[in-house]
Structure 1
Amino acid sequence: MVLLFVSLAMFGNYYVYDSLWPVVDLMRTQLDFSYQQIGWLSTAYNIAALMVLLAGGYIIDRWGTQRAIVVFALICLMAAVLTVISSRFEVILAGRFLLGIGAEPLIVAATTVLAKWFKGRELSFAFGINLSISRLGTASADWSPNFAGGLYATWHDPLWLATGVACVSVTAAILYWVAEKRATGRFQLATPSATEKLDVKSLYKFSASYWYIVALCVVFYATIFPFRTFAIDYFQQAHGVTREAAGLLSSMLPVAAIILTPLFGIWVDKVGRRSLFMAVGTLIMLPLFLAVTYLPAGPLVQLTIPFIGSEPVPLTLLIVIFMLGTVFSLIPAVMWPSVAYIVDGARLGSAYAMMTLCQQIGWAVVPLAIGILNDRNAAGPLNPGGYAPGMWVYTGLVALGLYFSFKLWQTERGPNGHGLDGKTMHLGS
């Protein structure tokens, strides 16, 4: 019950965040928003997330998970309401900022809940289920033009649907509180260790391999998530596909993550070669954004997702997005666990905190830059070439990632390696 309720709370959190992307074109036509303003709606979330990250887990430790998860779910609900109640850009921007304030601590609180309930009781399985249901929220937002197509006559009706999903998230959080309160004294729960604060003074002690992984993390997420911000609108404007087809295409990234990430994790644990996998994944990713820009669209093929919908899409787009979804599953499955193998366990909290901090900075900057480029180059259905400069930015970031992954592979093959390419290793070696 706890796993179900916490996962449903996360489902709503992810849905609300991603619900904005299918209405980008409607905001541009009905509200006259520029691409730069759309970029700000993504960046505002990350700026708020950075502020929360610097605060660490103090509030959660102080309030306890029961109160914290309900409060942060309520903040996400208020953010959803604030995003939809007004057509003024400043109000919608404030809603996205407030969502960042609530959503990031909600993720931390959910992680803490799982650690309390499942440590020593299939913790990895619980995390996997939670992540799968969370990613389903992202996919459902992409699918909403299919199952709720009647709402897409205006920009705000789909966001009212997202507000309803946020209510489900709050209800699930309250039910978790009730479930844990009733379980008090009946179950012996693990006590999570205190949240480790980011120790800036000791950062110079991290190895070169750690910083190469951090650099790869920054450019990888600064490419994938900003691309998703504009993806549905880009597919519509530059390639002439319907909103429903664009949503199905965009959803292939989270769907791939749900299915393939644990499978890649099992595979890499078995064969090792972690730094090599990261380099190969980045190499596969390198030509993809230029491919969707310059290659012929190819014939239309039917993309079908059971129980959701079936739409014709250009073959080139389908192949590229399928490969991007594969990379989106492979690199995180290797990258995040690798940190635990090269950083001492006592400093792992600082290592992940710094990695996440850097990730959010990159993620905050790129959507705004892409929005500015799209505006300056008059990108749109009458000028699809105007999207090309943004695609070159993504490609340049991936090229940087390929360099960092190569340096990681080179370092790990040398005398200062940590055995990332071995089959069996000790954590924090």
Structure 2
Amino acid sequence: MYTMRSGNARLSKLEKTVVFPIDHVTLSCLSHDSASLNMADREERRSLLDEDDEDEDDEGSRHLSPLCDPRHLLHRILVLVFMCFLGFGSYFCYDNPAALQTQVIQDMSLNTASFMQLYAWYSWPNVFLCFLGGFLLDRVFGIRLGTIIFALFVLVGQIIFAAGALANHFWLMNLGRFVFGIGGESLAVAQNTYAVNWFKGKELNLVFGLQLSMARLGSTVNMNVIGWVYGRIQSLTGSAGHSTLGITLMIAASTCLFSLTCALILGFLDRRAEKILKKEQGKTGEVIKLTDVKDFPFSLWLIFIICVAYYVAIFPFIGLGQVFFIEKFDFTTVQARAINSVVYIISAPASPLLGFLVDRTGHNVLWVLLAVVTTLLSHMMLAFTFWNPWIAMCLLGLSYSLLACALWPMVAFVVPEHQLGTAYGFMQSIQNLGLAVMSMAAGSILDNKGYLFLEVFFIACLCLALLAVVVLYLYDYYTEGELNLSASTRAQRLKSE
């Protein structure tokens, strides 16, 4: 701009002595140049104004209080609180049937096989949703809307479940558990996505440990509180029955409403952070391609067998455990609820610590072998001895936590990164399929043969898991795989690659 003004000044001085022949073309060019310069001037001013606006935004965000600034640790801790409570209602209500086993069977006039359908119907939708949950969050709903929708499914499913008890319609209770299952597992995927979005590269491992601890806390509180709630309602109404059961389950739905509220608040905070930090919504990172299944290595199929055979000896047992401790060990109802929840109580603090131990030492296959063997010993103690069951249950809680820390990371060692989403989705899918089928089988065995045969059934499943671990160890040893390497050797291999 300064150069043009100088040139025009010099031109006005020369006009007194020199006459320039200016034709229409020259005039048009000069007009065009002048218009271009004016436009460039306006663009420059606009860009300067935009930069000033951005500076003002940055200045405004700098003046935010630590609790309101998405870049500050205090704000991320606030987000973490809502993140942890996001799944509290889902885990609290998942084991409502286990905590109220006697009441559900009596009030709804069920046998044990029908009772275990409440767990089977939760698992059935997740045979397929394990593949779709990440896709829906990434491509269809987005993390914020998807989390709210899945939390809404959990709440509506629990309400339908409670309404089925109030109306004395068991089919409606099964429908409620089906709807509840649609939201439950997908909500866990959303919770993990939020964790990666907010804490990636910072405190992610600690955050995952805290989320797992809060999930176990929800299950523990349910085991020890929901029976007391049923008793209080029974004393107020003066009689037990399906109406008392329905009211109890409806009160439990308040925890799902609390989780939905957390989902709404998280969505608001994440959207606000997106505007302030100018970042994109988080994604699950899961790429699901079913055609990858044919390329899975033999070691991964062994991991799948261990997963299914092990977990079917844990969750169905907890679902039926309360009456087992009352009948075999003459425990009171309160004592039976307490010991039935000890697996979750131990898992809450033990999971992060054992995960750290496995990370530091490596040798994942040996840790899985130890977990399976100790679980097998726990079930044998419960089945064939009258020793204090607290010993067996505490051992079961530790081994359950250890297996989760050592088994699931092994998938990443045997499949390439682009197949991880498919591998984990398939693993969760067959796990839910196994739980759905084995839950009904466990109920039928208990009705026809009793608890001793049920424990023998669980021991047989664990023996299958133990056999698969031994084969995995030998296969990994002879193929020089990475599954049982020490942490230092594994790190050296990664550096050499």
TM-score (norm 1): 0.88
1:232–1:265 Cα change, 3 Å: same
Aligned twin of 1:114:
195
Answering whether residue 496 of structure 2 is matched by residue 414 of structure 1, we say no
**Shift in Å, 1:201:** 2.7
Task: Report what 1:80 is aligned to.
Answer: 158
Deviation, structure 1 residue 419: 4.8
**146 and 17 in structure 1: CA distance in 2 versus 1, 3 angstrom threshold:** closer
Q: Which has the higher helix share?
A: 2
For residue 352 of structure 1, the aligned residue among 399, 420, 424 is: 424
Following the alignment from structure 1 to structure 2, what is the Cα–Cα distance between the partners of residues 404 and 37? 31
Q: What secondary structure, in the 3-state scheme, does the structure 2 residue paired with 1:420 have?
A: coil
Please say which of residues 205-214 and 37-46 is displaced more in the overlay. Answer: 205-214
Instruction: Give the direction of change, closer, same or farther, for the CA distance of 1:334–1:9 in structure 2 (3 Å limit).
Output: same
Residue 145 (structure 2) pairs with residue 67 (structure 1): yes
Instruction: Encode CA deviations 1:362-387: one digit per residue, 9 max, x unaligned.
Output: 1111110011112223xxxxxxxx21
Native 8 Å contact 1:9 1:170 kept in 2: yes
Q: Contact conserved, 1:68 with 1:109, CA < 8 A, in 2?
A: yes
Which residue is 2:181 aligned to? 100
2:391 is equivalent to residue 319 of structure 1: yes
How many angstroms does 1:358 deviate by? 1.5
Q: Partners in 2 of 1:24 and 1:156 — Cα distance?
A: 14
What is the aligned counterpart of 2:91 among 3, 8, 14?
Answer: 14
Matching residue of 1:150: 232
Contact 2:274–2:280 (CA<8 Å) still a contact in 1?
Answer: no
Moved more, 13-22 or 89-98: 13-22
Cα distance, 1:359 vs structure 2: 1.0
* Aligned counterparts, 1:5-404, within 5 A: 5-61=82-138, 62-85=140-163, 86-145=167-226, 148=229, 149-151=231-233, 154-187=244-277, 189=279, 192=282, 195-296=285-386, 298=387, 315=388, 317-377=389-449, 386-404=450-468
Q: Which runs of 5+ in 2 are unaligned?
A: 1-77, 235-239
Change (3 A) 1:293 1:272: same
Structure showing greater Rg: 2
Structure 1 contact 22–243 (Cα < 8 Å) conserved: no
Rounded to whole Å, the distance in 1 between the matches of 2:377 and 2:203 is: 39
148-157 or 76-85, larger mean C-alpha shift: 148-157
Would you say the 8 A contact 1:74–1:170 is kept in 2? yes
Q: How many angstroms does 1:190 deviate by?
A: 6.4
CA contact (8 A) 1:278 1:335 kept: yes
- Contact map agreement 1:145 1:243 (CA 8 A) in 2: no
Q: Percent of counterpart pairs with the same letter?
A: 26
* Distance change in 2, residues 1:140/1:196 (3 Å): same
Partner SS for 2:201 = coil
Cα offset for 1:37? 0.8
Distance 1:51 1:206 in 2: 19
3-state SS in 2 of match to 1:287:
helix
Deviations 1:163-215 (A, max 9, x none): 11111111111111222233232235465456544333332332222221111
Moved more, 134-143 or 230-239: 230-239
Q: Give the letter for the 1:410 counterpart.
A: L
The answer to whether the 8 A contact 1:56-1:197 is kept is no
**CA offsets, 1:234-255, max 9 Å, x none?**
2223333122111111111111
SS in 2 for 1:400: helix
Distance 2:377 2:455 in 1: 10
Of 72-81 and 151-160, deviating more is: 151-160
Q: Which runs of 5+ in 1 are unaligned?
A: 299-314, 378-385
**Separation (CA, whole Å) in 2 of partners of 1:4 and 1:376:** 46
3-state SS in 2 of match to 1:198: coil
Give the structure, 1 or 2, with the largest relative contact order (CA under 8 Å, sep 6 or more): 1
Deviation sequence 1:98-152 (CA, Å, 0-9, x none):
1011111111111111121111231212222112112211111111157645246
- Tell me the TM-score normalised to structure 2 length: 0.77
* Rounded Cα–Cα distance in structure 2 between residues aligned with 1:270 and 1:234: 38
Moved over 6 A (4+): none
Give a deviation string over 1:367-426, Cα, whole Å, max 9, x none. 10011112223xxxxxxxx21111111000000010011111112222342252322325
Q: Does the CA-based 8 Å contact 2:287-2:419 persist in structure 1? A: no
8 A contact 2:476–2:482 mirrored in 1 = yes
Distance 2:146 2:479 in 1: 46
For 1:160 and 1:240, how far apart are their aligned partners in 2?
31
Q: Which amino acid aligns with 1:114?
A: A
Cα RMSD after superposing both structures = 2.1
Further displaced range: 407-416 or 136-145: 407-416
8 Å Cα contact 1:115-1:190 kept in structure 2: no
From the superposition, tell whether residues 220 and 12 of structure 1 become closer, same or farther in structure 2 (CA, over 3 Å). same
Total equivalences in the alignment: 403
Inter-partner Cα distance in structure 2 for 1:363 and 1:140: 23
